[in-house]
Amino acid sequence: MNLGTRGALTFRLGDYNFAVRVEEAGGVLDADRLAQLPGVTEPIAGVAAFRGEMVPVVDLAQYLGIESDAPHRYALVLYRGADRFALLVPEIPRLIPGRDLREAPPEAPDPELSDLFESTLETDQDHYHCLNYWQIFESIIPQTASAARDARARRTG
Amino acid sequence: MKGLRTEDDIEQGGSSPPPAVLVTLLAVVLAGVIAVFASGVMVWVGVGALALGAAYFASRNATPKKGSGDVAKARRLLLLLDRGGVADCKVPADFTNEWATVYERVNKASLDMRTGSSALVELEKLRKQIELAVSILDKDKDPLLEARELRSSPLEPLLSYTQDSAATPGSGGQVVSKLTLGEEEELIGSGSDKLPDDWPKPAGGPSSSQDAPARPGTRGAMGSGSGVGAGIGSGGAEMESGLRELMREIEALRTTLAGGASESPRQNEDPAIRTPAQLVDAVVLTAADGIEDLAAGLMRANELASVAERVTNRATLLALNAALEATRSGSEAFAAIAEETRRLAEFAREATDTISRLSSEIEYKVGETITAIHATSEDAKNSLAELSGTAVPVPHAARSARVQVVRLLERCRELLSSLGAPQMPLMPGLEARPGSATKPSKGANSTQDNVENDSPPADKLPLEGILLIEGLKPGANLES
């Protein structure tokens, strides 16, 4: 079964397992010390430097309303064209090769997350929820001119 | 009426003899009155004679009669007690019956008080005798001949035997030529002459110079002596040095005994000798210091482990990012490098986890050990206090003095052994103690052992305390 991905980075947040396809992932960095931005809303934990660029970091657990006692120390960077942002995760994500993943029947972890839910991947042991993370990004970060242009191009194209 | 004498008073006054002063005064006044009426020299002489006669008569009547003698005897007893008794007691003739018994007892008590058999007096006496012997030896003379009191002293066997050793036959010289024996007698002879029968002999030693074997080290045996001083010679020098050492020991002992009562035991203690409680404290302090150093090192190790963990996390992130890039690019070479990086990160992770786990375990055990040591220290102190309470307390000064006395005896024996003399009791009071007498057959160590065995059991406790602490160290088998 072709998943359309070479693999996925998985992490656990609360009682849920989440996955990010490697095609969307730019990398993982240490987020012990994030630069705080003045006047930003709460889901944004700060900004971090990733390969010479400033990346906003979103606290996914806080955004989704998931209680997580573990401190969020790592940032999983996602990129799409010129846009980049990072998800604050409590542990170092685990890379699962595409050969070990299977597409599972869509199953939203929570009705409130149904808008963000995209697909479900599974291995022999666990299920992983893939979310539309860019929807989170767009709902928080104002689109830049280039991003808006790219978005228009995608819609028209 | 007041101020008037009654008949009883008059009768009492008439019955008592008139005072001598009053009679003399009345006689002088009467003589003066007579002289006024009949002036002339002869009359004045008669008046004077009459006055003197009256005064003599009055004094005879006024002198109290001598007592019955009991008061005088009591005064003599007090004088005897004050002056000290004599060895050969002769009861005066006027002391009869019970008075004779009392006189003998008072004499004996005062003699005991004067001669005093305490250790301090004996030691002082011995010290003076040794000092005298040394001073005589300095003049190359024989102490036994120069000082009569040395013949009855504990040093007599030693001095006598040295004299005998010096007067060995075959010396070729005149060992005894003309010696002053006391104040009245003189001894004239030569090396081959036998000593008189009343010559002081060493206890158990050779009875004459003929029996004494020639010993190396004595000038007499070397044949170069020509007189008493030369005869005593090197043997005397050896003995002199030994006696000097002996005298120093006795001085130290005397100081110890004299100052032991006024000074506290702590002040007399040798700093190297500690009580069991102090030893326990020392052990605990040493252990605590070592554990504190260990804890400080452990904290430093924890800091380094924290740094290692951060490095490991960085390596893990590097491996993950490399694997992510390799997955995205699909390059097998990149994937291989990423895999090696991941393995390296895993290895570092395992090592860091092991270090952290060991550090935590050591930190926990150190804390437990510190607590156990403090608790055990208190238990050991309590146990030592209980055990010490059951022991018979022995004053520290007395123990120290006894040890010094025993060492002194050993030195004397060694000195005698070097001179070839048999065993002699230098200080009989110290060896004649029943139950603790030193057996000569056991050798020199027996006396020391005897004294050490007399020490209270608390002296043996430090080792037990140390073993107790040792047994409570981490990893120790407590059951054993």
User: What number is the ipTM of this complex?
Assistant: 0.84
Cα–chain-centroid distance for residue B438? 19
Question: What are the extents of the domains in chain A?
Answer: 7-151
Q: Is the pLDDT of residue A142 over 80?
A: no
pLDDT at B310: 86
At A151, list the tokens. Answer: 């978005």
Which residues in chain B are contacts of A9 at CB distance < 8 A?
320, 324
Q: Is the pLDDT of residue B473 over 50?
A: no
Which of A71-85, B175-189, B466-480 is predicted least confidently? B466-480
Q: Is the pLDDT of residue A126 over 80?
A: yes
Mean pLDDT across the stretch A41-45?
A: 80
The CA distances from residue B137 to A93, B189, B212, in Å, are: 102, 21, 21
In whole angstroms, what is the distance from residue B17 CA to residue B60 CA?
A: 11
> Of A98, A130, A132, whose CA–CA distance to A115 is shortest?
A132
Q: Is the pLDDT of residue A27 over 80?
A: yes
pLDDT at A77: 95
- pTM of the entire predicted model: 0.41
Q: Is the pLDDT of residue B66 over 90?
A: no
Cα–chain-centroid distance for residue B452? 16
Q: Where are the beta strands (DSSP E) in B137-184?
A: 178-181
Q: Is the pLDDT of residue B321 over 80?
A: yes
3-class DSSP string for chain A: CCCCCCEEEEEEECCEEEEEECCCEEEEEECCCCECCCCCCCCEEEEEEECCEEEEEEEHHHHHCCCCCCCCCEEEEEEECCEEEEEEECCCCEEEEHHHCEEECCCCCCHHHCCCEEEEEECCCCEEEEECHHHHHHHHCCCCHHHHHHHHHHHHC
> What's the mean per-residue pLDDT of chain B?
65
In whole angstroms, what is the distance from residue A96 CA to residue A141 CA?
A: 29
**Interface contact B313, partner A, CB < 8 A:** yes
Q: Which residue has the tokens 């992770």?
A: B349
Which residues in chain B are contacts of A93 at CB distance < 8 A?
320
Most confident residue range from A60-69, A87-96, B39-48:
A87-96
Shortest Cα–Cα distance, B297 to chain A (Å): 28
Cα–chain-centroid distance for residue B404? 7
Question: What are the extents of the domains in chain B?
Answer: 16-62, 72-115, 119-268
Shortest Cα–Cα distance, A38 to chain B (Å): 29
Side chain identity, residue A5? T
CATH fit for domain A7-151, picks 2.30.30.100, 2.40.50.180, 2.102.10.10, 3.40.640.10: 2.40.50.180
pLDDT at B263: 47
| pLDDT greater at residue B47 or residue B16 | B47
| pLDDT greater at residue A111 or residue B99 | B99
Q: Which helix (H) or strand (E) holds B188?
A: strand B185-188
Of all residues in chain B, the percent with pLDDT exceeding 90 is 2
In this structure, the strands spanning A53-59 and A83-89 are parallel
pLDDT at A156: 73
Q: Is the pLDDT of residue B389 over 90?
A: no
B330, closest residue in chain A (CA to CA):
A6
Mean pLDDT across the stretch B52-61?
A: 75
At B461-470, the pLDDT tens digits run 334 433 333 4
| pLDDT greater at residue A78 or residue B449 | A78
Interchain CB contacts (distance < 8 Å): A and B: 34
Q: Are B280 and B463 in contact (CB under 8 A)?
A: no
pLDDT at A20: 93
> Of B49, B23, B53, B21, whose CA–CA distance to B35 is shortest?
B49
The minimal CB distance from B323 to the residues A29, A74, A95 is found for A95
